[in-house]
Amino acid sequence: MAEKRNWAMIAVPAVIWLIVMGLIYYFQYHSPGKDIEWDIMGLVGGTLALLLIPVGMMSTYAGDNSKLYGLKPIIDRFPAIKRPEGHVRFRDKMLWTIGILIIYFGLTNVMIFGLGESMDLFSEFRAIMAGANGSIMHLGIGPIVTGSIIMQLFTGAKIINLDLTRAEDKAIYQGTQKVLVIVMILVESIPQVYGYLQPDQALKDDIGLGWARAVIVLQLFVGSYLVFLMDEVVSKWGIGSGISMFIAAGVSQAIFAGTLNWLPLGDAAQNYNYLDPDTPAGTLPKTWWMLTELPSRSITTGYFENMFISPPNPIIALISTIVIFLVVAYAESSRIELPLAHGNARGARGRYPLRLIYASNIPVILMAALLANVNMFALLFWSHPSLKEVPLLGHNWRIGFFEEGGTSPIGGATWYISRVNGVHSWLLPLMNWERYQYYTQDHELWQVMLHVVCYLGVMVAGSVMFAKFWIETTNMGSDAVAKQILNSGMAIPKFRRDPKKMKKLLDRYIPSITILSGAFVGLLAGLADMVGTVGQTSGTGVLLTVGIMIRLYEEIGKEQMMEMHPVLRGFFGNE
């Protein structure tokens, strides 16, 4: 009976959606001059009507499991990448991984058809969002990570009642996350198209403004869904995670360009003090150019200051990038190893490592994506033609305000939790307020210092929160680890094979190291942002890239060992 009601709840919203869309487009073509309002109502109203389908299926589910099991008919029919039936050889995994990376770079160069004027709402987070402005990869990994954030928050708050140690519950969790990703693609693409990604005049003349915007939304949807599928291909057929690989690729590209780019700044030089249009953009070429040009100029013109401290790409940013690399590499190698012994095979021993960065770099990815979404919606409510008219939220300077044409907040609550971008934005004004006040965007010194404190606090607290949620949703908590160790036939010496005692022992380490790892990566990312990084990739981007590359190196080592002869595996230390 419950199954019949589920399918009935699909038919009703579908009919409602058709009626809503029909009425919207009827009034659109009979209401001249109202294109923006009716277009928004059409897509938003239609999307909300479609959301009634999964909501109805969950609400009418009458089984003993979580309400999310009501989505099983959709999840079972959802397009997905099939898992390999047998072992995939290391060479094939490398080919899949490299092939997907090449496709990703190719798609970042496929520009949106019919796009005219555009504004990049994710400019501050572009390297981390793993996309390219104006391409079909414009949204990058944003919808995927946002969907993951929502699922983790709901799971951590016990709103979603699923036992992720069970295969069925985990499949429902992952399937629900896929459905949520589709929703988030629409949520992030529709407001941007109806405010900041305008169709060009030729496309509007050919098919009309409303359909032109729909074409751009469709391209954004296809691009984001391809990112989702490529991530699945890497996870199931390749090595590591597709999302992590895309982030590392984008950040590495930005670091390379920021360090070695010899092209002159040109008109962009007017945004910086003491720079000529002929000044190269990269750190090393810019330094060489200044050193060779300096003898013919006055030393008092600020060239040394710009070379070492001021943007773009000062020497201190390159030093900061190298320091982050070394610190993360050291932290990744720091671990506590719990000794293990096999219960039946005498002499068989092993180790269970608890890394200092136990929760890996995922909490920082989630925190950066959350801040990117906060920045995006603050900008939408401040300057979007329709959303700025929303009562209380629209054009409210307390939430955040922006310069005309700018994408970074210059005031309001959003500014206080936005990225602190380099030493010139806080340290130089603190040392000499009169000389460097122009870097503060007309803020008082106490506001600049409060900005630093708020940003570091949000990064640390948010990373700790997501670290705890991530550990629980990925079966890395004390209870899950205890079961994994015991199921493998191993046990900690001098402890009986009792899950409760094993869990009690692990509780001494895992909860503490989870909080410590989350706070550590959050603080390191925040401090790196404050110092600045080469290529404007942000400290978070560099931290993520170093961690991702180290984990990828380890994954490659494990894959190679799995294909070795057992004697060789033992020789290389794979116990």
Task: Convert the pLDDT of each residue in 245-257 to its tens digit.
Answer: 888 888 888 899 8
CB half-sphere exposure, 245, CA atoms < 13 A: 27
CB half-sphere exposure, 480, CA atoms < 13 A: 14
Alpha helices in 298-426 (DSSP H): 303-308, 315-333, 362-383, 413-416
Query: Which are the contacts of 113, defined by CB distance < 8 A and separation ≥ 6?
Result: 203, 215, 219
Report how far residue 71's alpha carbon sits from residue 550's, in angstroms, rounded to the nearest whole number: 38
Determine the pLDDT at residue 574. 47
Question: Which of 235, 71, 242 shows the shortest CA–CA distance to 169?
Answer: 71
Residues in the chain: 575
Report how far residue 534's alpha carbon sits from residue 282's, in angstroms, rounded to the nearest whole number: 8
Report how far residue 573's alpha carbon sits from residue 536's, in angstroms, rounded to the nearest whole number: 40
Q: If 0-12 CB within 10 Å is exposed, 13-18 middle and 19+ buried, where does residue 523 land? A: middle
Q: Which residue has the tokens 């995006």?
A: 376
Determine the pLDDT at residue 568. 47
Report how far residue 520's alpha carbon sits from residue 548's, in angstroms, rounded to the nearest whole number: 16
Q: If 0-12 CB within 10 Å is exposed, 13-18 middle and 19+ buried, where does residue 367 land? A: buried
Report how far residue 216's alpha carbon sits from residue 213's, in angstroms, rounded to the nearest whole number: 5
Determine the pLDDT at residue 226. 92
Tokens of 181: 């990703």
Query: Which are the contacts of 426, defined by CB distance < 8 A and separation ≥ 6?
Result: 420, 448, 449, 451, 452, 530
Question: Which residue type does 31 have?
Answer: S
pTM value is 0.79
- Phi first, then psi: give them for residue 344, nearest 5 degrees: -110, -40
Determine the pLDDT at residue 303. 65
All residue ranges of the chain with pLDDT < 70 are 1-53, 55-56, 59-60, 156-157, 269-274, 294-303, 342-350, 494-497, 562-575
Determine the pLDDT at residue 32. 45
* 394 SS3 class: coil
Determine the pLDDT at residue 35. 45
The strand pair at 409-411 and 115-118 is best described as unpaired
DSSP one-letter string for 208-234: -HHHHHHHHHHHHHHHHHHHHHHHHHH
CA angle (527, 533, 535) in 5-degree steps? 155
Report how far residue 166's alpha carbon sits from residue 230's, in angstroms, rounded to the nearest whole number: 26
Per residue in 162-192, is it b (16+ CB within 10 Å) or e — as a string? Answer: bebeeeebbebbebbbbbbbbbbbbbbbbbb
